[in-house]
Structure 1
Amino acid sequence: MTSAVIGALRVNLGLDSAAFQDGLKKAQSGLSRFGSMAKTGLMAGAAAAAAGLAAFGVSVKGAIDAADDMSKMAQKIGIPIEELSRLKYVADLSGVSMQTLATGVRKLSVNMTDALAKPTSEVAAAFQKLGIELTNADGSMRSSQDILVQLSDKFAAMPDGAEKTALAMKLLGKSGAEMIPLLNGGSEALRQMMAEADSFGQVFTKEMAPTRRPSMTISRG
């Protein structure tokens, strides 16, 4: 083989080697960038998944806490949690706060009991004037929700004014005046909104409330 041929081969081999090295470097650089992008993508995906799980956890906790609060309030007022959550839905639509609703319904229950115990009292006379029977056919006391629904018809038929406000406060306590917007629509509107609460999944049941076990103190001997 002549020296000219050998020289040409060396030149070609050198060029091929240089091209190979350059290609290898580019490939390594591309892989590095891909790895970086993949890592960033995975980290972003993991962060999004973590954020989603956190939001879901907050949502679940919020629902549990709401059910727990509703259960406690229902026990304080003395009405089923289902009835209270329906009334809360109506109160929200009427611009009446939960605290106002709870106070009014609690006072109504107390007045119902007092009116049955003292038929000649002023509060008993107020129920009688409105034509509201406090007991069922079997002699058992009607629920406060039933009475509230009937009261709404009476209030809807009355003009707004001092007499209506005074009557509301007599039967529902200090929250009576604030509850007038809830009652002014009448029983048909009240029942319709209560039915909406069921349709929209706004009704809590006692099974939804978390069970609170009393803490136990272990004495050490």
Structure 2
Amino acid sequence: MTTTERDITGDVVRDLLREQHPDLADRPLQLAALGWDNQLWRLGDDLAVRLPWATRSADALLRKEHAWVPLLAPHLPLPVPVPQRLGEPSERFPRPWLVTTWVPGEPADRAPATRPAEAAVTLAGFLTALHRPAPEGAPTGRDRGGPLAATAERFSQGLVSATELGLIRDPDAVRAVWEDAAAAPEWAGPRLWLHGDQPTWGPPAHAALHRLTTAPHP
């Protein structure tokens, strides 16, 4: 984790809009969320501004999202934030940033699924639509994708931690599902799009595909 060299405030966001996208600068603006890579500022009723702040890798991820999400979004069964404008580094803020669409909804940790079976089917349908063959030139992920067996130690640590926090009621059942998946044959098909992050699912989906990647297996 790092932090951006300059504090991000509403005044900074407003100045960036005035400099590069003045037609959007007078819209209502308010902080919406602080993520692992980016800050999210709501811009009026239907847009948002996403600015990198806590990791160096966020810059490349935003550019990747700007290039590829508009091509993928029409094929997905749920709405996702789609980049509309790209902000370039400037003296005011030395990193790239995005203006995206705003998808109404509540994060899953605030509005948990009340119909889990239906939610699971909806999520599976979304991932099935996303896991389509990637075109030439599609970006390759950094540490996303690859055989599940290679993540056995990390999985075990996470399962123990989640169980100790009371988040997993039946860790043996979770481990059985993971072991079954890890034993699956190696993927021999084409390179597929993946969402290599932990999205927050709500009704409807509220996560951006900001870690788009391709890998030789689903």
TM-score normalised by L of structure 2:
0.23
- The structure whose RCO (Cα within 8 Å, separation 6+) is larger is 1
Higher helix share: 1
Higher strand share: 2
